[in-house]
Amino acid sequence: MNGKVYLVGAGPGDPGLLTLKGCELLQTADVIVYDALVSPKILKWVRPNAELIDVGKRGGKPSFSQEKIEKILLDEAQKGKKVIRLKGGDPFIFGRGAEEALSLVKRGIAWEVVPGVTSAIAAPAYAGIPLTHRECASTVSFITGQEDVAKFDSKINWDDLSKGERTLVFLMAFSNLKNIVDQLIKKGLSPETLCAMIMWGTWTKQKTVVGNLSNIVQKVEEAQLESPSVFVVGSVVKLRNELNWFEKSPLFGKRVLVTRSREQASTLVETLGQLGAEPIEFPTLKILPPEDWSLIDEAIQKINKFNWIVFTSVNAVKIFLDRLPFLDRDIRDLKGVKIAAIGEVTKNVLKNYHLKVDLCPSEFVSEALLDAFQREIKILGQRFLLPRAQGARVILSEGLEKAGGQVTDLVLYRTVNAQNGKASSFFDEILENGLDWVTFTSSSTVKNFVQAVGDRLNEVKGRFKVASIGPVTSETAGSLGIKVDLEAKVHTIPGLVEAMLAHETS
């Protein structure tokens, strides 16, 4: 029995513009056949065992022929598989989707199209250029930019395009720009007609050049624009002066390396993206459970013997509390035990478990919590349980013991380097495309970053600025030869982002 092929529009680049239906299909497909301009972030939504086939057509480079792509779709569908043909923009707007659909119809293969947001609309919108406005244009034309304007049997009515108040949008026009401009002027458009070339529309590397028909070719050359680009012609271009929203984002275009573990990185990645940055995930940490749960289980079984549980991280909270059900326990067993936490984030996670935090210092370091204990309680004789990571700082436990407390250090998890020697090719890409920031959110991220980079550390140092979440992390970076350019005043992810914003906008 044959499978089915879905022609899915991936949108112009911003992964947030993928349709909900397209996302749902990606999570269930057996095979994804994708284009060059599909964002890698979209491919992260496919299910783990799906087959990915890159058929991207890149100008001037070896690529799959259209016939070969259609054969792949047919072959995979005839194996009974659910196949996604993931195409940049919209499949039926200059995407050759109709050709692929007709080849499937010819051979009796079931298929369906899932429209996507075309770059013809999205790129101008992200450049602050509405394609219609009642005072400027009530008509829009989408035109291929690849047709030879000198063709005798051209399918483009150049005479009609040059008449009336309308907006013209040329896709794939970069290499043919001069010919298009010359033809528009020849057919009657004024050389002063406003126009704009938008490169990498909706991506964080978007770049827009505005001019008129008489100077746009020179301006595009001077700005060193490249494909993919969308060319917009018409008086609506003047509205960009007021409506340019995307490129004015405070961190627009900044490439930021995120070294947190993949499980923890989502908040930082999402926040950076909302501010216009391009977050690049390079997880240096992988969180692993303990090799032996016996000591942890023993502590949980006698939890009511402790006066305090001290949580120094979100990971410790989740791993400890999620272990309770395995021992037929729940948060009711914590009755009478007071809870201390380092940091508002840790405190808020505990609140999500419906647990009250009795002590949380204003500064998010172990020293501050130790000071708070010394000021606010009589430590002598108190019993403390400290769930923590293997190799974590012991300042707190040593300080409590020195003051007469009885401390049980409980290793809940361990962190290992997530890169495992995979960094070299990654840094080739970084060196080629540039990097603005590297963020460190813990001493472990610094240590594992240095280990992952290895001998290439001196090669990459100085090519980016370094942002640290706090003094302990900064001290570790300095000890390993990494200069810290800024340190968050508030030692949290929002504090780190605020510090970067202040640095970039000062």
Distance CA(363)–CA(343), nearest Å, equals 7
d(CA 115, CA 98): 12
Paired strand residues for 256 = 279, 437
- How many CB atoms lie under 10 A from the CB of residue 141? 17
Encoded tokens for 192: 């002063």
Nearest to 364 by CA among 446, 448, 473, 291: 473
Rounded Cα gap, residues 409 and 207, in angstroms:
53
In 3-state terms, the chain is what percent helix, strand and coil (to 5)?
A: 40, 20, 40
d(CA 117, CA 312): 45
Rg value, the chain, Cα:
29
Q: Which of 4, 57, 187, 219 is catalytic?
A: 57
Establish whether 57 is a catalytic residue: yes
Asked about 68 being catalytic, the answer comes back as: no
* 295, burial (CB in 10 Å: exposed 0-12, middle 13-18, buried 19+): middle
CA dihedral sign of residues 324, 329, 331, 337: negative
**Residue of 14, 30, 90, 172 with catalytic role:** 172
- Reduced to 3 states (helix: H, G, I; strand: E, B; else coil), residue 53 is strand
Which of 14, 30, 35, 90 is catalytic? The answer is: 35
Angstrom distances, CA of residue 433 to CA of 211, 298, 427: 27, 52, 10
Could you write out the DSSP letters of every residue in 265-312?
Answer: -HHHHHHHHHTT-EEEE---EEEE--S--HHHHHHHHTGGG-SEEEE-
172 in active site? yes
Which residues participate in catalysis according to the annotation?
A: 35, 57, 172
